Structure 1
Amino acid sequence: MRSSPCPALLLATVLALAGCGAEPEAKAPEPRPVRTVLAANRAAGDAITLTGHVEAQNEATYGFRIGGRVIERLVNVGDRVKPGQVLARLDPQDEQNALRSAQAAVSAANANLSQTRNQYERQRQLLARGFTPRAQYEQAEQAFLNARAQVEDAEARLRIAQDRLGFTELKADSAGVVTERRAEPGEVVQAGQAIVQVARQDGRDGVFEVPAQLLAGLPGDPEIQVSLASDPAVVATGRVREIAPQADPVTRTFRVRVGLIDPPEALRLGTTVTGRVVVDSGPVIEIPASALTRVNDKPAVWVVDPQARTVALRNVEVLRFSPATVAVAGGLQPMEIVVTAGVQALHPGQAVRLLEAAR
């Protein structure tokens, strides 16, 4: 007889088979909560304020046209100078000696010219009467011409010696203010070496370092308000006079010189000023600065797909930025949803949950 299976054994077998079934499915990750903002176009005609300083429109660096030893420097930094005023002097002894030598050479040449002229006139008269050979006349004529050339040469050397003596005095050619001195009495200087620098009084500039993205938004001939940093009530208007053709290799900014129109006396050389101008770079999208991140060393933002509620990383073109906001000139379209908080913890294609309605 075959015995029937034990009920307890059957129950254990059923439970074991049930345990070998498929594992339960893993739960999908919860969408990450983020804060967002709705991108919208706005006018970019904002007032831009930059800090700069005042410089002279024209500066002249004066140096002697000859070398020598400086015996006097008659001006100091801050002194006002007039046209023709002597700024410094060289020791004139060598040039005075050269002048005396040139004067003596002129006297000797004139004496020789007088003697050869008399001989030439005498030979010419004798030749006309037939009392002297033509060869002797021609010899006297050649001596006379040589003597006259020597006088012209001596007189030219005299003028050079007089000029060189005048070069021992360094004179201003226009009115201005001394901004720098580069030599002291007793120094031996070379021709052309800088001795005194003078800011000419024919105008003043406000000088500013301007980022490249702001230059693109400047109108053709903007009017700029320049005010004293320590006293904003001191104001002058100006026009862009010069833009540097090459950016500074360190700051990557361009130096812009603004010619001041009738500047008040308080805007002295070297004072710190602020310049204010309204720039118009066309429509831009402004988003909170917290939305900005970087990818491939370029600015980027996270954009939300409104249907799938997932995020994607997109590069943008930044026009300008401040601690609070970023003006985007390209890369975003109006009505797109941009993540403004939680950007550091996102990855492409991640599902998100909006904490608040996009604005």
Structure 2
Amino acid sequence: MIRSLHSVSIALAIIALAACSKGGNDAAAATGKAGPGGGRAASVTLAQGDIGRAVRMAIDETVGITGDLQPIETVDVKARLEGNLQSVLVREGDRVARGQLIAAFESTQQASQRKSAEAEQVAARGDLKTAQWNYDQSRELFKAGAIPEHDLRVSEQAVATAQARLAAAEAQVRATSESESDTRVFAPTSGIVAKRMIEPGERVSRGTSMFTVVRTDVLELQAAVPARQSND
């Protein structure tokens, strides 16, 4: 009887140990940690955005350099005549547009010369018209035998003289008009006035530098590249 009770006690102890071992493994599984008898490793949940696909691609090699940005165009504005400056309309640092008036000379003399040339042109046209009419009349009279050939040649020469006078007058009008136009100084390009070398009231000689205008819409980089990279 005593032996039977001892066997029952041993069986109950084995059952209790098995229950404890199962409970430990279940707890370990619930917490993600290994139990005393070993269990599953910890798990991590990833979102779809956390996953990417590896792609083979080339990596570009770049070279760091430093340098100066320079304007692509620099224009030196020079006086095209000698005279006194009436006005200077821009300062250094001002932005100008191509064709903008930036300075003006006294133009009284040039305007007077242009008007005189235009008056001479009008007179020369009148003389040519008269000479041509006289020649036409002389030619008809010569055909009719009313005048000698000498008179016809004289009227013909008068036409040639009047034509030469008109041509000279027209050339003078062009010259004086250009001279008057040169009294107004315009920006040769759009950009920034980098330098202004003249002041209002100053007398300026032909060819004197008045302004320096630089284009800033396009710049170029001047920099030194390492020798080992220059052949790449």
Q: TM-score range by the shorter chain?
A: 0.5 to 0.7
Of 113-122 and 79-88, deviating more is 113-122
Partners of 2:75 and 2:188 within 8 A in 1:
no
- Alpha-carbon deviations, 1:318-350, whole Å to 9, x = none? xxxxxxxxxxxxxxxxxxxxxxxxxxxxxxxxx
The equivalent residue for 1:128 is 143
- Alpha-carbon deviations, 1:296-320, whole Å to 9, x = none? xxxxxxxxxxxxxxxxxxxxxxxxx
Gaps (5+ residues) in structure 1?
1-44, 221-279, 281-359
3-state SS, counterpart of residue 185 of structure 1: coil
Of 67-76 and 198-207, deviating more is 198-207
Query: What is the Cα deviation at residue 72 of structure 1?
Result: 0.8
Query: What is the Cα deviation at residue 83 of structure 1?
Result: 1.7
1: distance between equivalents of 2:129 and 2:147?
A: 21
What amino acid does structure 2 have at the position aligned with 1:95?
Answer: Q
- Aligned partner of 1:142 among 141, 157, 180: 157
Partners of 1:58 and 1:202 within 8 A in 2:
no
Partners of 1:81 and 1:175 within 8 A in 2:
yes
Of 132-141 and 109-118, deviating more is 109-118
What amino acid does structure 2 have at the position aligned with 1:124?
Answer: R
1: distance between equivalents of 2:217 and 2:109?
A: 37
The ranges of structure 1 where at least 4 consecutive aligned residues each deviate by more than 6 angstroms after the TM superposition are none
More helix as a share of residues: 2
1: distance between equivalents of 2:187 and 2:105?
A: 15
Larger radius of gyration: 2
What amino acid does structure 2 have at the position aligned with 1:152?
Answer: A
Within 5 Å, give how 1:285-324 maps onto structure 2.
Answer: none
The equivalent residue for 1:219 is 230
Structure 1 135/218 Cα, relative in aligned 2: closer, same or farther at 3 Å?
Answer: farther
2: distance between equivalents of 1:125 and 1:216?
A: 90
What amino acid does structure 1 have at the position aligned with 2:147?
Answer: T
3-state SS, counterpart of residue 113 of structure 1: helix
Partners of 1:95 and 1:165 within 8 A in 2:
yes
1: distance between equivalents of 2:113 and 2:128?
A: 22
The equivalent residue for 1:190 is 205
The equivalent residue for 1:65 is 80
Q: Percent identity?
A: 28
- Alpha-carbon deviations, 1:175-221, whole Å to 9, x = none? 1111110111111112222111111134112334x4xxx6754525x
- Alpha-carbon deviations, 1:69-113, whole Å to 9, x = none? 111110111111112100111110111111012112112212221
Of 195-204 and 82-91, deviating more is 195-204
1: distance between equivalents of 2:167 and 2:227?
A: 63
What amino acid does structure 1 have at the position aligned with 2:83?
Answer: G
Partners of 2:78 and 2:211 within 8 A in 1:
yes
Partners of 1:55 and 1:206 within 8 A in 2:
yes
What amino acid does structure 2 have at the position aligned with 1:121?
Answer: D
2: distance between equivalents of 1:94 and 1:217?
A: 65
- Aligned partner of 1:171 among 179, 183, 186: 186
What amino acid does structure 2 have at the position aligned with 1:118?
Answer: W
Structure 1 124/54 Cα, relative in aligned 2: closer, same or farther at 3 Å?
Answer: same
Partners of 2:85 and 2:199 within 8 A in 1:
yes
Partners of 1:69 and 1:91 within 8 A in 2:
yes
Provide the aligned length of Structure 1 versus Structure 2: 172
Structure 1 218/104 Cα, relative in aligned 2: closer, same or farther at 3 Å?
Answer: farther
2: distance between equivalents of 1:140 and 1:190?
A: 48
1: distance between equivalents of 2:102 and 2:161?
A: 43
Query: What is the Cα deviation at residue 135 of structure 1?
Result: 1.1
What amino acid does structure 1 have at the position aligned with 2:215?
Answer: R
- Alpha-carbon deviations, 1:120-149, whole Å to 9, x = none? 111111011111111110111011111012
TM-score of the aligned structures, taking structure 2 as reference length: 0.68
The equivalent residue for 2:91 is 76
Partners of 2:77 and 2:188 within 8 A in 1:
no
More strand as a share of residues: 1
2: distance between equivalents of 1:67 and 1:193?
A: 9
Partners of 2:76 and 2:212 within 8 A in 1:
yes
Structure 1 46/107 Cα, relative in aligned 2: closer, same or farther at 3 Å?
Answer: closer
1: distance between equivalents of 2:98 and 2:142?
A: 60
What amino acid does structure 1 have at the position aligned with 2:113?
Answer: A
2: distance between equivalents of 1:49 and 1:94?
A: 57
1: distance between equivalents of 2:64 and 2:165?
A: 71
- Aligned partner of 1:113 among 124, 128, 152: 128
RMSD: 2.1
